[in-house]
Amino acid sequence: MKPTDISAPDYFHKVVDCQWACPAHTPVPEYIRLIAEGRYSDAYMINWKSNVFPGILGRTCDRPCEPACRRGRIEENPVAICRLKRVAADFKDDIKHRLPRPGPRNGKRIALVGGGPASLAVARDLVPLGYHCTVFDADPKAGGMMRSQIPKFRLPDTVIDEETDYILDLGVEFKGGHRIDSLKELLAANYDAIFVGSGAPRGRELDIPGRKEAAANVHIGIEWLASVSFGHIDKIGRRVIVLGGGNTAMDCCRTARRLGGESVKVIVRSGFEEMKASPWEKEDALHEDIPILNYMVPIAFVHDNGKLSGVTFQKVKAEYDGKGRRNLVPSGEPDETVACDDVLVAVGQENAFPWIETDCGIEFDKWHMPKVDPKTFVSTNPKVFFGGDAAFGPKNIIWAVAHGHDAALSIHRMLSGEDINERPLPEVHVSSQKMGIHEWSYDNDISADKRFKVPHRDKVIALKDIRAEVELGYDVKLALGEAQRCLNCDVQTVFTAPLCIECDACVDICPMDCITFTENGEEDDLRRRLKAPSPHHDQALYIADGLKTGRVMAKDEDVCLHCGLCAERCPTGAWDMQKYLIDMVHAGSTCQSKARSAA
C-alpha cells in the first residue's frame, strides 16, 4: 500500500466518524469536551455555527452521527451525541452578544420561500454579509415543519422561538402568513437570488376501497399533526390505527395517545426491524403502550354508511429473491379486520410544486422533482436555488441545514462574481496536544461507563398534557458522565517514521491491538496480517514507510480509543496526539482563497 497522506483534509476527517457522518460536519468531540468542562455556551456556539439549531436538533435530530460513533464498535451503545447537544442548549448562558451582527447592506436582495430550517440556515449565513433576506411562509411564525409537524411534547415552542429568533433578529425580513403562489411573480420582483426551501409538504394518500366514504375519520398524518400543532384539533376517537412506519407515524401515534386515543396501534406493511422510524422513536412509542403490528398491508377501510369502523389487512411475509431484494408476499393467513374509530395515514411525504410555472426556466425530472445540482444546489435557472426537502425529497432537519450552508455559499459566490462550481477547501488545523511527558490537553483516561439514560417525565403525567415535554434532558452530572464516554476521535494518532526505532512499545501497549509493524503488501493481504482482525474495510489503514528495517507501520483506525498510550509509551516521540479541527466553508468564511493547511 502507498503511505497515507495525512495532509489530505479528508483523511483525519473520516477518522472522526461522527463528524464525517453529520451532513453539517459538526465538530462533535470538540463540543463534547467543552460540555465536560462546563463551558456550555462555548459548546452551544460551536453547534450554532455548524448546525444552526442546537436546541431543536438536540431534541429531534435523526442523529446520523450516532450509528457512526466509534464507541458503538467497541461496546453496545454509541455516545448520546444528540442529547449532549441539548445539554449545551439547556445550560448555556445568554449568548445573544456572541451572535453575528448584520454587516453593512450590500444592496442585494434574496427571497426565501418557506420559513423552515433550510431557508433559515441560508438567511443566517447571508444576512451578516449584508444581504437583504426576505423569508416567505404560509404559517404566521417561522420554523416550518419543525413547528408544524413535530409534536410539542418532543419540541416545545419556546425552543423553536428562541432559535428562530436568533436568526430573524439578525435583520431577516420575515413575511408570515404569506404563501408564494407563483414563482413567476417572485422572479418578476427582481430579487438577486431566490432560494426555495418549501419542504415536502404533501402527505401521501392511501387509495384503497372505502377511503372516500370514510373520509371523515381518515386523516393524513402530517396535515393532522399540523392541525394539532396549531390548535385546530384537540381530540381523536378512542381506538386509533396509525398506518405507516416512519417517524411521522411515531409522532402521530404518540399525539393520538394524548388526545383521547386509549387504544392506539401502529400497523406497518414491513417487518418491525425494517421500519423507517428511528429505533429510539419506536422505543418511545412502545413505552407509551402503543403496540406495533407488522407484516400487515391495509386493503380496505371498513365503514357503515360512511362511518369508519375498522381497517382490513392482508397478512404478508417477507421473501428474498436471489439478489437479496425483499418482496412482501401473501402469507396465506386469512385477512384481518382491526376495529377503530379513526385512522391516521403516515405512509410518506411528497413534494409539490404547483406554484412553479412551466416557463420559469426550472426543469423537472421524471419524478417531478426539480433538477438541482447536488453540490451547488442551483436549479436550471441560475438565479434559483433549492435546499432541504424541496431539493431531493424528504430527509430531515440536519440535511436541510447542510443544504442551506451550501446554497448560501453558492448564492454568495454568484453575487460576488465568482464561479459557484469552484468550492473553496475547508481550513484544517492540526496541533499537538502534548502538555508534559505524560500529560495531554484532553482527558485520555477512557471511561468504562455504559450509555446514560435520559430522564423522562412520568408517563401518567406526560400522557395527560400534550405540551409537556417527555424528555427532561440530562442534568449536569449525567451530562458529564455521558460526555466522558466520548473517545475524542478528533485527537489523532500522528506517526513520524524517521523518529521511530521500532521498539514495539506502541504495539505492546495498544489496548485495541491497532498497530502492526510488518512487511508492506496490497491492502487485502496487509489487512489479513494485522495483529487483530480488520472487518471494517471502510475504516482506513494508516500506513507509514521509511522505517530502518524496511517494514511499514500499519494502524487500523477502526477501533482506536485515542487514549494516547502509544504516544505515552513511545520513547522518541514518533507518535504524537494531535487535535484535528476542520472549518467547513460557509458563505463569508475568511481565508476562502487561501491554500489549505494540514498536518
Partner 1 sequence: MTYIAKPKFHHPGLKKNELGYTHRDYEGKISTLCAGCGHDSITASIIEACYELSIEPHRVAKISGIGCSSKTPDYFLGNSHGFNSVHGRMPSVLTGANLANRELIYLGVSGDGDSASIGFGQFAHSIRRGVNMTYIVENNGVYGLTKGQFSATADRGSKSKKGVTNTDNAIDLVAIALQLGATFVARSFSGDKDQLVPLIAAAIRHKGASFIDVISPCIAFNNHAGSTKSFDYVREHNDAVNRLDVLVGRDPISVDYAPGTVQVVEQHDGSRLALRKLDADYDPHDRLGAMTFLQKHAAKGQIVTGLLYVDPDAEDLHTHLNTVETPLNTLDEQALCPGSAALDKINASLR
Q: Work out whether 519 is an interface residue with partner 1 (CB under 8 A).
A: no
Q: Work out whether 549 is an interface residue with partner 1 (CB under 8 A).
A: yes
- Report the residue number, 155 or 510, with the smaller CB distance to partner 1: 510
Starting at the edge strand found earlier in the chain, the sheet holding 384-386 runs 173-176, 132-137, 109-113, 193-196, 384-386
Q: Out of 569, 581, 589, 591, which residue is the one contacting partner 1 (CB under 8 A)?
A: 569
DSSP string, 564-592: -HHHHH-SSS-EEEEEEEEE---TT-TTT
- Report the residue number, 382 or 535, with the smaller CB distance to partner 1: 535
Phi-psi region of 590 (alpha: psi -120 to 50; beta: other; left: phi over 0): beta
- Report the residue number, 158 or 572, with the smaller CB distance to partner 1: 572
- Report the residue number, 71 or 86, with the smaller CB distance to partner 1: 71
Contacts of 288 (CB under 8 A, 6+ apart): 253, 254, 257, 459, 462, 463
Q: Work out whether 486 is an interface residue with partner 1 (CB under 8 A).
A: no
The distance of closest approach from Cβ of residue 14 to partner 1 in the complex, given in angstroms and rounded to an integer, is 20
> One-letter amino acid identity for 274?
E
Partners of 582 in the β-ladder: 428
Helix (H) or strand (E) holding 515: strand 515-518
CA distance 536 to 548: 30
The distance of closest approach from Cβ of residue 564 to partner 1 in the complex, given in angstroms and rounded to an integer, is 9
Burial class (CB in 10 A: 0-12, 13-18, 19+), 524: exposed
Q: Work out whether 565 is an interface residue with partner 1 (CB under 8 A).
A: yes
Which x/- pattern over 323-362 shows residues binding partner 1 (rule: CB under 8 A)?
A: ----------------------------------------
3-state secondary structure of 373: coil
- Report the residue number, 169 or 439, with the smaller CB distance to partner 1: 439
Q: Work out whether 546 is an interface residue with partner 1 (CB under 8 A).
A: no
> One-letter amino acid identity for 226?
A
CA distance 554 to 585: 32
Q: Work out whether 75 is an interface residue with partner 1 (CB under 8 A).
A: yes
Q: Work out whether 548 is an interface residue with partner 1 (CB under 8 A).
A: yes
The distance of closest approach from Cβ of residue 572 to partner 1 in the complex, given in angstroms and rounded to an integer, is 7
The distance of closest approach from Cβ of residue 448 to partner 1 in the complex, given in angstroms and rounded to an integer, is 6
All cell numbers assigned to 99: 451572535
Restricting to residues 424-453, name those near partner 1 by CB under 8 A: 438, 444-446, 448
29 contacts 488 by C-beta, under 8 angstroms: yes
- Residues contacting partner 1: total by CB under 8 A: 34
Q: Work out whether 319 is an interface residue with partner 1 (CB under 8 A).
A: no
- Report the residue number, 352 or 509, with the smaller CB distance to partner 1: 509
Full 3-state SS string of 173-229: EEEECCCCCCHHHHHHCCCCEEEECCCCCEECCCCCCCCCCCHHHEEEHHHHHHHHH
Q: Out of 170, 250, 507, 582, which residue is the one contacting partner 1 (CB under 8 A)?
A: 507
CA-nearest of 189, 227, 108, 243 to 466 is 227
- Report the residue number, 512 or 585, with the smaller CB distance to partner 1: 512
CA distance 245 to 241: 12
Q: Out of 138, 468, 509, 585, which residue is the one contacting partner 1 (CB under 8 A)?
A: 509
The distance of closest approach from Cβ of residue 445 to partner 1 in the complex, given in angstroms and rounded to an integer, is 4
The distance of closest approach from Cβ of residue 480 to partner 1 in the complex, given in angstroms and rounded to an integer, is 18
Q: Out of 16, 316, 494, 561, which residue is the one contacting partner 1 (CB under 8 A)?
A: 561
- Report the residue number, 410 or 534, with the smaller CB distance to partner 1: 534
The distance of closest approach from Cβ of residue 22 to partner 1 in the complex, given in angstroms and rounded to an integer, is 24
3-state secondary structure of 438: coil
Q: Work out whether 73 is an interface residue with partner 1 (CB under 8 A).
A: yes
296 contacts 316 by C-beta, under 8 angstroms: yes
> One-letter amino acid identity for 294?
N
- Report the residue number, 438 or 594, with the smaller CB distance to partner 1: 438
The distance of closest approach from Cβ of residue 69 to partner 1 in the complex, given in angstroms and rounded to an integer, is 14
Q: Out of 158, 327, 431, 572, which residue is the one contacting partner 1 (CB under 8 A)?
A: 572
- Positive or negative: CA dihedral 295, 299, 303, 307: positive
- Report the residue number, 400 or 500, with the smaller CB distance to partner 1: 500
CA-nearest of 119, 222, 205, 196 to 370 is 196
The distance of closest approach from Cβ of residue 13 to partner 1 in the complex, given in angstroms and rounded to an integer, is 24
Q: Work out whether 77 is an interface residue with partner 1 (CB under 8 A).
A: no
Positions that interact with partner 1 (CB under 8 A)? 73-75, 438, 444-446, 448, 501-505, 507-509, 511-514, 532-533, 535, 548-549, 559, 561, 563, 565, 568-572
